[in-house]
Amino acid sequence: MFVLDTHGQPLDPCHPARARRLLASGRAVIHRHTPFVIRLRERAVTDSTIQGVEVGIDPGSKHTGIAVFTERDGIRAGMYGIQLDHRDGQIRDRLSARAALRRGRRSRNLRYRAPRFSNRTKPKGWLAPSLRHRVDTTMSWVGRLRRWAPVQAVHIERVAFDTHAMSAGEPLEGVEYQQGTLAGYEVREYLLAKWERTCAYCGKQDAPLNIDHIHPRSRGGSDRVSNLTLACVPCNQIKNATPIQEFLKAKPALLAKILGRTKAPLRDAAAVNATRWALWRALTATSLPVTTSSGGRTKWNRSRSGAPKSHTLDALHVGAMEAVTGWPSTVLVVKATGRGTYRRTRTDKYGFPRLRLPRIKTVRGFQTGDLVRANVPTGKKAGVHTGRVAVRSTGNFNITTRHGTVQGIGHRHVRLLQRADGYGYTLHSEARLRAAFPPPPEGVGIHAGEI
């Protein structure tokens, strides 16, 4: 748990059990509900010895993993994990819809209007709003972690492949000089994500998967990513050097599906590459020590430690390290939801107004998106409901909990826990990952334990 001193300055995080004892004894108060932060009543930074923590960031297209850990002599201990879910798809779709509506209005009313697109110039380093959103939300959470914990350094993936991380002390020949010890990790990781860790031919999961050439190399096939897929060992052996058109002659639907999937654009990879440098420049402007690494090294570190695949665990394994002594048992999933909209009129699919929203966002002291707790004593909705509230002008609110949405709860039973900050929060357990990926035996890797 994050801990602040009596003046709001960050201290070293503590164990949840210690936080409960401090709250029960009255020595601390709740400063923030999610993520949970406590503030000590009678203790300042000057009265404490701070060791500090470090932050690892694994940038992604749809999700960004953030890990808070301590590092001593290359040994890391994970303390907190955050999975940040971006909403770049919503931003892109809404901008496209707005552009279509504006184009329609202008063509109807100003048919002979001269084009002005050549008069606008973009500043250096400009990113599309959907890409800028990834950088801004990640930097926002780095700033929050700096307010809640004594962050000493940041580790981030900046490039897809590090050509400097080569094997030292051994003679290299030919193409080996360009590959090094991390060769192939980026391609394997991309294929696992693209084909969802399943065999492309039989759909088998949770089995060893090989990289298969759709058009065999012996028949002129290349090593490009568009010609690679995943296949389980039996399918790979049966297919061998057979062209996919002959191998799937009896399954035309599956053949068309695989061929269509291979031509899918590398949109996610392009988005990550476009934002990594902008995120690195923004981090270096914070005056924190920032170290960069490659995605290949992250995969290599995770394979050595035996850790399962997840966004937060990738963030924990970013950069140069020796071992990991443990990682958190739960991960805070933060979904970017936005702070509402300026639009006061909802339209139908044809663009005509169908609903007018109120001009005032606050109802009875609450706003849509606030984290609340409702204690209903009697009736069909009796019980305690904790979640996000959707306000109504009648005073009867809807509360969305992890079990569903409870409608029509009176405002008199609702108590505010935390104001809406543009994010939605849920907790995911790492137990399913530990069941699928048991820790390695003694002496081989590290063991995952609760922090």
103 in helix, strand or coil?
helix
CATH number of 180-267: 1.10.30
d(C-alpha 247, C-alpha 328), whole Å: 45
What's the pTM? 0.75
Higher pLDDT, 175 or 197: 197
Q: Which of these, 368, 355, 380, 365, lies nearest to 415 by C-alpha position?
A: 365
Distances in whole angstroms, Cα of residue 258 to Cα of each of 220, 222, 234, 250, 370? 19, 17, 18, 14, 44
Residue type, position 203, single letter: G
Residue 275 to residue 130: CA distance in whole angstroms: 10
**Cβ within 8 Å of residue 303, ≥6 positions away:** none
d(CA 176, CA 15): 47
Q: What is the mean pLDDT of the chain?
A: 83
Task: Give yes or no for residue 420 having a pLDDT over 70.
Answer: yes
Q: Which of 193-197, 253-257, 426-430 has the highest mean pLDDT?
A: 253-257
Mean of pLDDT values over 337-357: 83
The two domains 180-267 and 356-420 share their CATH topology (first three levels equal): no
Span 335-359, average pLDDT: 83
pLDDT value for 37: 95
CB 1 within 8 A of CB 15: yes
Distance of CA 260 to the CA centre of its chain: 27
Q: DSSP string of 286-326? A: TTS-EEEEEHHHHHHHHHHHTPPP-HHHHHHT-SS-SEE--
- Number of CB atoms found within 10 A of residue 423's CB: 19
Residue-by-residue DSSP string for 29-51 = EEEETTTTEEEESS--GGGS---
Contacts of residue 62, Cβ cutoff 8 Å, sequence gap at least 6: 85, 86, 88, 89, 268
Helix residue ranges per DSSP H, 332-391: none
Indicate whether 195 pLDDT > 60. yes
pLDDT in tens, 167-190: 333 443 444 434 444 455 557 777
The pLDDT confidence band at residue 432, using thresholds 50, 70 and 90, is very low
Edge-to-edge order in the sheet of strand 414-418: 404-410, 396-401, 383-390, 371-376, 414-418
pLDDT at 293: 87
Specify the range with the lowest mean pLDDT, choosing from 138-142, 155-159, 378-382, 395-399.
155-159
Distance CA 184, CA 188 (A): 6
CATH of domain 356-420: 2.30.30
List Cβ neighbours of 23 (8 Å cut-off, separation of 6 or more): 29, 30, 38
CB–CB of 66/283 below 8 Å?
A: no
Domain spans in the chain, listed from the N-terminal domain onward: 2-47, 180-267, 356-420
For residue 161, pLDDT over 60 is answered with no
